[in-house]
A = this chain, B = another copy of it.
Amino acid sequence: MMDSENNISPLELKHYLEVKRVEIDSKLEQYLNNNTFPGRLLDAMRYAVMAGGKRLRPVLCLAAAEAVSDAGEDELLAAGCAIEFIHTYSLIHDDLPAMDDDVLRRGKSTCHVAFDEATAILAGDALLTLAFEILSEDTMRNGHRDAKTHQAIKIISRAAGPRGMVEGQMQDILAEGKTLSLEMLERLHALKTGALIRASVETGALLAGANERQYQHLKEYAQLLGVAFQVADDLLNIEGDPVVMGKSAGTDADKKKSTYPSLLGMEASRVKASHLIDRALQLLDIFDKKADPLRAIAAYVIQRDR
């Protein structure tokens, strides 16, 4: 699967991801401590945010910026953390009894099980709001950056909102028990998971000062990556190891959800994911080796946890 242009070995990627993850985790913890009061709300927010996770979205933000330039990390980390808070809020709310009613996430009790439903709703609300607090706060220190971070708020809020992630979750709920067309399924996932993945890459590219051509290539890379990510996720839900996944396998089928494997079959889904990643890698040809992390992540996305 790995393209020959990709010069990062799986071992090096593992190291890269680990270094970034530690850096991001430390910043997430810092934001939680500095921007909340001690108490039950913070406990629930921290529980959900620190439950683990690969921090794929912030890593994509940082790696996209690296591909373009050596941008200052402070602003990028702030943006990456904001996106991760938004991602975590969406998981908390999606897991609620009124939504997907999941009790396990990353091998731990979901937030509403560990705390209670009201606290989980509020922890999600707080993380979503905190994301915008961070995006507006961290950039006031460098007045000249305002226009760019303002643009980042636009990209991120649009991706997360009623023309993005929230609409995707609504469509996902409405689709339960129905068989979707492939087109409808792609549209649903483009909103539900794709929009925030695209926003992560776009934000990194924007803050690092990408030119128009670089920006377009990275945007398309992220779009393809997002679809591949979802196909891989659907495959993992069927054949994944529950220990690795931290939740039960086969839950999509139990909920009668349309998935790529249910519409295309397992093998065709694998081929599709692989083709998407090949195309995503081609789009990175205009970049030098500074885009190697993005290249390695693309391969990783469809190989993870297997």
Interface centre among A99, A116, A143, A161 (most CB of B within 10 A): A161
Q: Are A132 and B153 in contact (CB under 8 A)?
A: yes
Residue of B nearest to A96 (CB): B121
Q: Are B170 and A122 in contact (CB under 8 A)?
A: yes
CB distance from A70 to the nearest CB of B (A): 25
Residues from chain B with Cβ under 8 Å of A132 in the complex: 132, 153, 157, 161
Residues from chain B with Cβ under 8 Å of A173 in the complex: 118-119, 122
Segment with Cβ contacts to B, from A5-13, A144-152, A232-240, A285-293: A144-152
0/1 string, A8-45, CB within 8 A of B gives 1: 00000000000000000000000000011101111001
Residues from chain B with Cβ under 8 Å of A174 in the complex: 40
Q: A136-B154, A147-B143, A150-B150 are in contact. Are A162 and B129 (CB under 8 A)?
A: yes
Instruction: List A123-178 residues whose CB lies under 8 Å from chain B.
Output: 124-126, 128-130, 132-133, 135-137, 139-140, 143, 146-147, 149-151, 153-154, 157-158, 160-163, 166-167, 169-171, 173-174
Q: Are B37 and A162 in contact (CB under 8 A)?
A: yes
Q: Is A105 an interface residue (CB 8 A)?
A: no
Q: Please name 12 pairs of A and B residues whose Cβ atoms are closer than 8 Å in the assembled complex, sorted by A.
A: A35-B161, A35-B162, A37-B162, A122-B170, A125-B128, A129-B162, A133-B154, A133-B157, A136-B153, A137-B154, A140-B154, A150-B150
Chain A contacts to B: CB under 8 angstroms: 35-37, 39-42, 45, 89, 93, 96, 98-99, 116-119, 121-122, 124-126, 128-130, 132-133, 135-137, 139-140, 143, 146-147, 149-151, 153-154, 157-158, 160-163, 166-167, 169-171, 173-174
